[in-house]
């Protein structure tokens, strides 16, 4: 149904969000499988780290190419092919489940699909959503649901179903194919005449982006990386390490991330970032005790705090990126934001590096100190900018026209 007042398809955003959900599922279903591959294929720690890294090596170029391309050529022509390719990437993991080369190729293709599709689809949802903060919450919810449910289902199937290298991927083959079919029937929105802009986009060249948005962005995925990758390994021995426990940590962190998103929408964006960084500081601080005592209970509580950090920082960061972007650079600005956010996937390597010069608990202590400094900086910026108070009610005229309300 097309609204005459706004020219927006009131149902289309659901189809785009479902595509984001499916791509997010395909991207993150692999996280608990690293444990399975390490045991089933007798992989070294370096090989496991390489499988984790190859995703990022194609993800970031995909973001930086896909966002500007969707600004210039339209959202659907850029998003649709990579939504179609997402289940193909999973199929590569199924065809030869013990082939390291094919697993690597599947992860590389999954990273490219995520990079191109997620940034551009986020901009597409924003264009189909009226009201300040609504589009950021819709995008964040779709992405969080996919990122959260994918690894949970994969972990459960890997732990208790037969054929643990194959069966965990079958749900995404179904969901990914369904998303491609749904998006295939979604009409392409009109592509306005675009003026070629210099790179990076204007909003990213501002001090506000780097002082107010960027400091919290890496903690979006850095927080969940700690919760679902680092802590499960730190609090369990090699003999007792299980995909099931990693799945539980994923449930705790992403459930908290979903639950806090309505609150994040009601906060001023910079204040939401500050709150998220405070939760991340508390989560990593509790992680010190969890690692020191190998406590799964403390690790679970830390996962909840880190999930809150994820949800607050993601919604708040997307809101800021959308508000700062001009309409013809929206995809490029959101892609730049996601690029900074995805740097958080390097946090496990940062922990390893810090541990090499101290200890495992010392690494968490140093990381806590770094995040605390970022939290203090962002809180101070929010106070100085007068953005820590609740936002003013949205004007009826802006709501009717679908215009963002100035922050």
Residue 1 lies in a domain: no
Q: Is residue 403 part of a domain?
A: no
Residues 215 and 168 in one domain: no
Residue 128 shares a structural domain with residue 40: yes
Same domain? For 384 and 329 the reply is yes
Confidence of residue 202 (pLDDT cuts 50, 70, 90): confident
Residue 253 contacts residue 229 (beta carbons within 8 Å): no
End position of a domain, from candidates 128, 159, 186:
186
Residue 405: per-residue pLDDT: 40
Whether 180 and 222 share a structural domain: no
In a domain, 159, yes or no: yes
**Whether residues 92 and 126 fall in one domain:** yes
Q: Please check whether residue 29 is in contact with residue 168, taking contact to mean a CB–CB distance below 8 angstroms.
A: yes
Classify residue 395 by its DSSP letter: P
Same domain, 179 and 233: no
% of the chain with per-residue pLDDT over 90: 35
Question: How many structural domains compose the chain?
Answer: 2
Report if residue 402 sits inside a domain: no
pLDDT at 195: 58
Both 256 and 374 in one domain: the answer is: yes
- The answer to whether 403 and 127 are in contact (CB under 8 A) is no
Domain-terminating residue out of 186, 210, 242: 186
Which tens digit of pLDDT belongs to each residue from 118-163? 889 988 888 887 655 677 788 888 888 888 899 889 988 988 889 9
| One domain, residues 355 and 303 | yes
Reported confidence tier of residue 276, pLDDT bands at 50, 70, 90: very high
Residues 108 and 231 in one domain: no
Is residue 81 scored above 80 in pLDDT? yes
pLDDT higher than threshold 60 for residue 111: yes
Structural domain including 364 reads 201-391
Task: Write down the pLDDT at residue 94.
Answer: 93
How many CB atoms sit inside 10 A of residue 205's CB? 11
CATH number at residue 263: 1.20.1250.20
Asked if residue 122 and residue 218 are part of one domain, the reply reads no
Residue 190: predicted pLDDT: 66
Q: What is the pLDDT of residues 36-56, one digit of tens each?
A: 888 888 877 677 777 877 888
Is 4 within the bounds of a domain? Answer: no
Domain assignment of residue 397, yes or no: no
Residue 404 pLDDT more than 90? no
CA distance 32 to 259: 23
Buried b (16+ CB within 10 A) or exposed e, 331-347: bbbbbbbbbbbbbbbbb
Q: Is residue 196 in a domain?
A: no
Shared domain check, 329 and 207: yes
What mean pLDDT is predicted for residues 352-374? Answer: 90
Give CA separation, 176 vs 85, 140, 250, in Å.
9, 19, 21
Task: Give the predicted TM-score (pTM) of the model.
Answer: 0.80
Cβ(20)–Cβ(79) under 8 Å? no
3-state secondary structure of 193: coil
Q: Are residues 86 and 142 in the same domain?
A: yes
Tell me whether residue 254 is in a domain. Answer: yes
Residue 213 is classified by DSSP as: I
Looking at 186, 220, 240, the residue that finishes a domain is: 186
């Amino acid at each position: 149904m097309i609204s005459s007042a706004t020219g927006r398809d009131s149902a289309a955003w659901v189809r785009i969000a479902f595509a984001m959900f499916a791509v997010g599922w395909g991207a993150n279903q692999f996280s608990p499988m690293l444990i399975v591959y390490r045991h089933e294929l007798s992989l070294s720690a370096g090989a496991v780290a390489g499988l984790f890294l190859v995703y990022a090596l194609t993800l970031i170029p995909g973001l930086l190419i896909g966002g500007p391309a969707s600004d210039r050529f339209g959202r659907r022509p850029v998003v649709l092919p990579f939504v179609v390719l997402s289940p193909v990437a999973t199929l590569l993991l199924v065809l030869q489940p013990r082939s390291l080369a094919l697993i690597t190729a599947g992860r590389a293709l999954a990273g490219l699909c995520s990079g191109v599709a997620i940034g551009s689809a986020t901009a597409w949802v924003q264009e189909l959503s009226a009201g300040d903060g609504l589009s950021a919450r819709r995008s964040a919810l779709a992405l969080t649901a996919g990122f959260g449910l994918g690894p949970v289902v994969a972990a459960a199937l890997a732990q208790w179903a037969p054929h643990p290298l194959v069966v965990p991927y079958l749900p995404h083959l179904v969901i990914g194919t369904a998303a491609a079919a749904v998006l295939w029937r979604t009409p392409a929105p009109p592509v306005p005449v675009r003026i070629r802009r210099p790179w990076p986009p204007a909003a990213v060249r501002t001090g506000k982006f780097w002082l107010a948005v960027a400091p919290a962005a890496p903690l979006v995925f850095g927080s969940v990386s700690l919760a679902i990758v680092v802590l499960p390994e730190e609090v369990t021995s090699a003999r007792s390490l299980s995909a099931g426990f990693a799945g539980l940590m994923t449930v705790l962190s992403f459930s908290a991330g979903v639950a806090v998103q309505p609150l994040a929408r009601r906060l001023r964006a910079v204040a939401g970032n500050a709150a998220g960084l405070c939760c991340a500081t508390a989560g990593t601080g509790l992680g010190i005790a969890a690692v020191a005592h190998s406590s799964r209970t403390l690790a679970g509580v830390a996962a909840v705090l880190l999930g809150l950090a994820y949800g607050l920082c993601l919604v708040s960061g997307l809101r800021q990126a959308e508000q700062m972007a001009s309409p013809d650079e929206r995809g490029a600005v959101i892609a730049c934001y996601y690029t900074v956010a995805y740097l958080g996937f390097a946090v496990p390597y940062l922990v390893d590096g810090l541990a090499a010069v101290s200890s495992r608990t010392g690494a968490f202590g140093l990381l806590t100190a770094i995040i605390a400094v970022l939290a203090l900086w962002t809180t101070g910026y929010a106070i100085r900018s007068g953005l820590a108070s609740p936002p003013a009610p949205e004007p009826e005229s802006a709501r009717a026209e679908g215009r963002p309300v100035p922050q």
